[in-house]
Each structure stands twice: as C-alpha cells, then as structure tokens.
Amino acid sequence: MTWGLFAAWAVHDTEELLTMSRWGRSARRRLAARHPEVPEFVWRALDRPQTHVNVAIGLVGAVMAAAAADGARTGGRSGFYQAALLGFGGHAATHLAQAVAVRGYTPGLLTTPLVVVPYSLWAWLRLRRAGVAGAGGRLGWASAALLPVTLGAAHGIAAAVTRGRGRARGITAAAGRSAGPGRSGP
C-alpha cells in the first residue's frame, strides 16, 4: 500500500513532466498580457526549460521514493511517509486552484482527480482502518512544511544545475563562434 504513494506520484508527475515546460512558455505570455500588474519575476518562474523540469521532478521523486520506502519499512506508521502522503493529497487543492486562477488547464490537472485524490483518500482510509494514521496536528504541520521545502529545494537545485549547464553551453558556443570556420576554439 505504501509503495502506491510512489506509483501515484509517478503517474501524476509524468503528466507534469510532459506538459510543464511547454505550458509554462505559453501561459507566461498569455497571463502576463492579462495581468500586467504582476511583476516579471513571477512570470519568469513559469517559464522553465525542460532540463530544469526534469531535474526538479527527479529530485522530488527521490523524496517520494524515500517516503514510500519508509512507509513500507514501518507498515505505514512512519511520520515521514504520512507527511508525504498528506502533502501529496493536499497538493490536489493547489492544482485545482491554479486551474481556476488561469481559467484552464495547468500541468497535473488531469491526474489530480483521477490519481492523486483517489489514491490519497484510499491510503488514508487503509491507515485509519489499521489504526496507524497519525494525529492530524503535528502531522499536518510537518506536511505543510515538507511540501514547500521539498519543492523549493528541488527547483532551487534544478535552477543551479541547469544554469551551470546553460553557461557551459554558452561558453562552448561562443568559443566556437570566435574561432571562425575551419579553426578550433581555445
């Protein structure tokens, strides 16, 4: 049952992997035109290159796999697993709110009602029936902290990794241009 968290996450984030970068480029232009009062840095955050999306999703996947493994090890009693499960289910509201805010599709919207919500409810029901579901107070706070910290760290690391790759490509391309045809760069 606990490995279902990783499986549900993988299905959901596959949708995001396939749509996020392209959607972000398109939405940035459309939303910036509709809301010129919003600062440019907000719109830049939507426009992530596919390499950034790949790295960020891979990093979050490592966290979800670790949470699912810890849940399996403890029979679902792990606070880490339960916080990740609560965050995964709770983030469904974010996807739905984003779709309402932009008045249309956002990455992850299709699998939210089809995978995220049903799996999360089913898993919590199973944990409650087994008598191992954590108390909402501390667990809710842990989950509320785990989600933004995990996503922030994943996107921060992805930005650092892909920014470095972009600079290296830019330097290589510039060296090739300065060398001219038939000559090698430095």
pLDDT tens figures, 99-120:
999 999 999 999 999 999 999 9
Q: In the prediction, which pLDDT does 140 show? A: 64
Greatest Cα pair distance in the chain: 73
Task: Specify if 180 maps to a domain.
Answer: no
CA 169 – CA 164 distance, rounded (Å): 9
Task: Specify if 174 maps to a domain.
Answer: no
The count of structural domains within the chain is: 1
Q: In the prediction, which pLDDT does 180 show? A: 43
Task: Specify if 183 maps to a domain.
Answer: no
Q: Choose among 12, 22, 18, 19: nearest CA to 60.
A: 12
Q: In the prediction, which pLDDT does 109 show? A: 98
Task: Specify if 27 maps to a domain.
Answer: yes
Q: Which domain holds residue 11?
A: 3-166
Q: In the prediction, which pLDDT does 148 show? A: 83
Q: In the prediction, which pLDDT does 184 show? A: 40
Q: In the prediction, which pLDDT does 42 show? A: 86
30 backbone dihedrals φ, ψ, rounded to 5°: -65, -45
Task: Specify if 177 maps to a domain.
Answer: no
Q: In the prediction, which pLDDT does 136 show? A: 53
Q: In the prediction, which pLDDT does 134 show? A: 74
CA 44 – CA 40 distance, rounded (Å): 6
CA 89 – CA 67 distance, rounded (Å): 14
Task: Specify if 78 maps to a domain.
Answer: yes
Q: In the prediction, which pLDDT does 137 show? A: 53
Q: Name the token pair of 10.
A: 């993988």
Task: Specify if 182 maps to a domain.
Answer: no
CA 109 – CA 90 distance, rounded (Å): 14
pLDDT in tens, 128-160: 999 888 755 566 667 777 878 888 888 889 989
Q: In the prediction, which pLDDT does 85 show? A: 94
Q: Name the token pair of 113.
A: 């009602």
Task: Specify if 171 maps to a domain.
Answer: no
Instruction: For the chain, list residues with pLDDT below 70.
Output: 135-141, 164-186
Tell me the residue type at 26. Answer: S
Instruction: Please list, in sequence order, all residues whose beta carbon lies within 8 angstroms of the beta carbon of residue 92, skipping any fewer than 6 positions away.
Output: 112, 113, 116, 117, 120
Burial 134-162 (b: 16+ CB within 10 A, else e): beeeebeebbeebbeebbeebbeebbebb
H-state helical runs in the chain: 3-34, 40-46, 50-73, 79-102, 111, 117-129, 136-179
